[in-house]
Amino acid sequence: MKFLIRTLFLCAIGGIGPGAGSLQAQPPATPVAVPTPVVAPTSVVTPTPAESPPSAFLTAPRVFCVPALPATFNPQRLEADDPAQWVGLAFDRLLDYDRESRQLRPALAESWQMADDGLSLTVRLRPGVSVHSTPDFTPSRPLTADDVVFSFEKQRAPDHPFHNVGGRRYPGFSDFGLDKRLSKVEAVDARTVRFSFQAADPGFLPLLAQDFAVIVSAEQAAFLSAQGQSERLEILPAGTGPYQIMGRDPEGRLALQAFRRHWRNRPPLPAGAGRSPDSLLLQAIPEPALRYARLANGRCDGASDPDPAELPAIGRDPQVRSLPVPGFQMLLLVFDVTRKPFDDARVRQAIAAIIDRPALVREFLWNAGRVLDAPLPPDAWPAPETPAGSDLLKARERLLEAGQPNGFAADLRILGSVAALLPDTQRLAERLQIQLAQIGVRVRIRTGPPRPMPTASRSSGGEPVLAPSPQLYLLAVAPPTEPLAALSRLLGCPAAREGGGNSGQWCLPAFDAALSAAAAAPAGPAREQALATALDLLARYRPVVPLAAIPRQNLLRSDLPAGLHLP
């Protein structure tokens, strides 16, 4: 369920440059006035709303309605299905990924060089990058190599003084196996960082463009540690992004203020309609219909991720314009391979064969989606021009080969990320239930993840424990933009763990090796051929059935000024 604020940034927010807006720029030595949060006594520290809502500190903000807001402001703590597009507003990474060219491009790093033996990567930082202030901290220097070292070593090294502050989980870092791949991150000089690997690692570079790889302030960490308040780093880490997080209030609103000293020097967002280009207020509204209603009645300036079924009506509304946004969300059916009979690839192939994906797209996405052959969005891998429908004969043959001629019972679990994408999720699950019944697979529709599997066949009192039911997961994901990173987090072995991004826990070392070979190949046809090898393995073993890709869209009020642009 990773689809939110960066979408708005890409399509309707733009950036802030010198002289933008009606607010005065904050001098470097003056902290921004924000409500002071309170530390929550939980394993992962999250902000507690302050008495004064953060919106009180904004001047006529633009209001955007979005499906969800994060539980934590530290991107290093985000799970695979957490909303994460907001990360690009408040934080920067060393690299960005360009969807159009499918190439990495400089961000905080202005250049990089992989060693000939592949055992290290040297990164040269952009000079003069300003760091945000927070209620507790005002930076005295620009970004340096020390900040990069801190941001990665904090996640990598269990003995790092900040590793366990706020909890021990670093989901993205662990899903990509970096706790085992990286051996050291060190500063060569103030603007140069060296990453050292346990073995040659050509697949590391794209990971520098992922959300967990944001750069936060080591100076802030040292300051808070000296004050005995290290846990406050988890509440509001100081980033370098184009917007500065001001806080969150009990109504689910996230307040952001433009950071005028951002290194990109983006042009200002048009003000218009009495709204300030410097202030943003993001309102979490899970229901797509309610987001659209608030947009129509003027309570929101923009809304993200409309219900695909409402798009025809939205297209006829003169008060609203629809703007496509780069990227897709994917609707997937994932097998839990730790439970029989889904540990058998032939059973998974039978399920994939019986599902009529084109019919699902027509019925539930109003042809706004695209049928997929691989769990990659169409801008990363071509979607089929004439996708195949249901194949009853093939499905029955595969079940017969697997020793399941009469089918079996299974749970179909609707995970929360789908409901935010498709309001009619229950009916979609019922349609899948009908299709699977054709081959004797009797599906019980459930909501939410299953309880942990029993660890023994008998309880401590000697009573039998029921065998765990086979599990199918219906989920929606907004995958990383870079295809190798997307496949690695969704289906790679390091992510095949309880709570990892690989929710079905399928692991095939040959698949990971194919991804590594693709990463080592030069960009272009050679890499695409290597990637095709990895996708062939997915088609053979079928750990997941990709149902559809849904293009991202924003809705904006038509009375907003022209000039909204991509950054």
| C-alpha dist (Å) from residue 398 to 89, 182, 358 | 48, 42, 21
Q: Where are the alpha helices (DSSP H) in 389-524?
A: 392-401, 416-421, 425-437, 483-491, 509-520
| C-alpha dist (Å) from residue 113 to 21, 121, 200 | 39, 6, 14
**CA gap 369, 361 in Å, rounded:** 6
Which residues have C-beta within 8 Å of that of residue 45, sequence separation ≥ 6? 39, 72, 166, 167, 231, 234, 235
Whether 548 contacts 362, CB under 8 Å? no
At residue 51's C-alpha, the angle toward residues 45 and 57, to 5°, is 95
Q: % helix / strand / coil in the chain, to the nearest 5?
A: 30, 20, 50
| C-alpha dist (Å) from residue 65 to 117, 247, 248, 506, 547 | 49, 17, 14, 36, 27
Q: For residue 524, what are the β-bridge partners?
A: none
Whether 257 contacts 135, CB under 8 Å? no
Whether 510 contacts 370, CB under 8 Å? no
CA atoms within 13 A on the CB side of 324: 7
Whether 552 contacts 67, CB under 8 Å? no
Residue 85: phi and psi, rounded to 5, are: -70, -15
**3-class SS of residue 149:** helix
**CA gap 175, 165 in Å, rounded:** 20
Instruction: Note the pLDDT of residue 106.
Output: 96
Instruction: Note the pLDDT of residue 455.
Output: 45
Q: pTM, whole model, 2 decimals?
A: 0.79
User: Would you tell me the crossing angle of helices 525-541 and 345-354 to the nearest 10 degrees?
Assistant: 100
Q: Where are the alpha helices (DSSP H) in 208-287?
A: 218-226, 232-235
At residue 504's C-alpha, the angle toward residues 503 and 506, to 5°, is 120
- The token pair at 558 is 């038509």
**CA gap 385, 394 in Å, rounded:** 22
Whether 126 contacts 109, CB under 8 Å? yes
- Report the b/e string of 400-419 with b at 16+ CB within 10 A: eebebeebbebbbbbbbbbb
Q: Give one DSSP letter per residue of 269-336, joined into a string.
A: PP--TT--TTEEEEEE---HHHHHHHHHTTS-SEEES--GGGHHHHHT-TTEEEEEEEEEEEEEEEE-
How would you write the pLDDT of the chain (567 residues) with one tens digit per residue? 333 344 333 333 333 333 333 323 333 333 333 333 333 333 333 333 333 455 555 666 788 888 888 777 888 888 777 766 678 888 999 999 887 777 899 999 999 999 999 999 999 999 999 999 988 899 999 999 999 999 999 999 999 999 999 877 898 999 999 999 999 999 999 999 999 999 999 889 999 999 899 999 999 999 999 999 999 998 889 999 998 888 876 676 888 888 989 998 764 454 454 555 678 888 888 888 899 999 988 888 888 888 887 888 888 888 888 887 777 888 999 999 999 999 999 999 999 999 999 999 988 887 778 898 899 888 788 777 777 889 999 999 999 999 999 999 999 999 877 877 787 889 999 999 999 999 999 999 998 887 665 544 434 444 444 457 899 999 988 877 788 888 999 999 999 987 788 999 999 999 999 999 998 888 788 888 999 999 999 999 999 999 998 888 888 888 775 444 332
* Distinct helix (H) and strand (E) counts, the chain: 17, 18
- The token pair at 130 is 């300003």
Instruction: Note the pLDDT of residue 6.
Output: 42
CA atoms within 13 A on the CB side of 49: 14
Which residues have C-beta within 8 Å of that of residue 302, sequence separation ≥ 6? 8, 12, 62, 63, 64, 65, 295, 554, 555, 556, 557, 560
- Residue 420, phi-psi category: left (phi > 0), alpha (psi -120 to 50), beta (remainder): alpha
Q: Give one DSSP letter per residue of 365-392, joined into a string.
A: STT-SB--SSSS-TTTSPPPSS-----H
**CA gap 345, 351 in Å, rounded:** 10
pLDDT tens across 390-425, in order? 999 999 999 999 999 999 999 999 987 787 778 788
**CA gap 23, 25 in Å, rounded:** 6
Whether 374 contacts 409, CB under 8 Å? no
Which residues have C-beta within 8 Å of that of residue 259, sequence separation ≥ 6? 16, 130, 132, 240, 241, 242, 243, 244
